[in-house]
Amino acid sequence: MRKQTLRDIDVTGKRALVRVDFNVPLDPLNNGGVILDDLRIRAVLPTIQYLRERDARVTLCSHLGRPKGEVVESLRLAPIAARLSELLDAPVASARDCIGPEAEAAVAQLAAGEVLLLENLRFHAEEEANDPAFAGALASLADIFVNDAFGTAHRAHASTIGVTKHLPAVAGLLLEKEIGYLDRIVTQPQRPLGAIIGGAKISDKMTCLRNLLGKAHVLIIGGGMANTLLKAQGQSIGDSLVEDDQLDTARAVMAEAEQRGSTLYLPIDVVVADRFAADAETRIEPAGEVPDGWRIMDAGPRSVAAYGEALQGCRTVVWNGPLGVAEFPQFARGSESLAKLIAGLDAVTIVGGGETVALVREAGLVDKFDHVSTGGGAFLEYLEGRELPGIAALDDA
């Protein structure tokens, strides 16, 4: 990693402002008071503990949801502070604002090793606007800045790049870990590399696909984006989701894959439905023989078995995007079967993206993967080979 990390600086007794990503799912039926998944909270515990063990005064800042510059009571961070307190087995104070007199007073009261969680950054429109004054107010609360929020590293906001203009700025242990794993794919591929890329639209993942060509020995395409490739091959996909304006692009990608030594895998059988609904009538058809009136909703069992066989022998496997319409349980089965196959591989396994991580979590397989990324958009942009603003802004090693 070419940026300074927490290990490179002396944090003893310092006031540390730590950007975390506590944008966790909340139960809407409980007015935001119940956390449905605390993966992102648990992921930053090593950084917080590292700072506490060195008597730093730890001030955490995060956003939650999309309040659009307004105070939204259901998006306050007090429930997250309570959960963090349980995980740390230590008190975590919470402030009712993230800047101004109340935040300043709360920081001033911190003793060595204590932790404070500021209020939702996005209650201020200045956060997403990267307002210099807002960034300066945040920075005034600390002596050093630690970015441990990989999930927001692709955002040029006040709390990700603005504060770096005022403070020594380093990566936290989670951010360092995220980059370390993703560099095994993007900058220093550990071959043979297998990649599974799914999702609805090939246009959303085109840059990612092109960046993986030549790096990935095995490149499996799933979800609705596979339909466009199938149609580009002249196969019948019935009434399936397809991007007709991307057919020429799909043909170019397939040709480029062959030229650069990446073997593309598309479904050979598919689960089709008579309508887009959770309770639709379904059947399994060969991938290129979907009749009119039916639409592809998931990869079939023969496809998943073929994917598992193709991934055998890969040293590294990365997965982003489901194979089917995973929001409907009966069309998540292909992805669930694939998750179990990947979890059993003798390889470094990496998964990222909200839907994909949710699938792995619901299958009870999080601990079976080497790395479950906390990033959604940031994970995809890193796979695309982009420089993420929140990482670029940190101090160079």
Catalytic residue numbers, as ranges: 40, 201, 354, 377
Task: Give every strand in the sheet of 144-147, ordered side by side.
Answer: 92-94, 115-117, 57-61, 15-19, 144-147, 169-171
Distance, in Å, from the CA atom of 163 to the CA atom of 391, rounded to the nearest integer, reads 13
Extended strands (E) in the chain: 15-19, 57-61, 92-94, 115-117, 144-147, 169-171, 193-197, 218-221, 236-237, 263-265, 269-273, 282-286, 289-290, 295-299, 316-320, 348-351, 371-372
Of 195, 230, 227, 228, nearest to 214 (Cα)?
Answer: 195
| CB hemisphere CA count around 352 (13 angstroms) | 23
Q: Are 237 and 231 in contact (CB under 8 A)?
A: yes
- DSSP symbol at 366: G
CA gap 82, 132 in Å, rounded = 31
Strand-pair category, 295-299 with 269-273: antiparallel
Query: DSSP string covering 55-115, please?
Result: T-EEEEE---S--TTS--GGG-SHHHHHHHHHHHTS-EEE-S-SSSHHHHHHHHTPPTT-E
Residues in the chain, total: 397
Residues 6 or more apart in contact with residue 29 via CB below 8 angstroms: none
At 196, give phi and psi (nearest 5°): -115, 120
For residue 267, is the peptide bond before it cis, meaning its omega torsion is within 30 degrees of 0? no
Cα radius of gyration (the chain)? 23
In which residue are the tokens 């956003």 written? 63
CB 198 within 8 A of CB 323: yes
CA–CA distance from 28 to each of 48, 60, 173, 391 (Å)? 28, 24, 31, 33
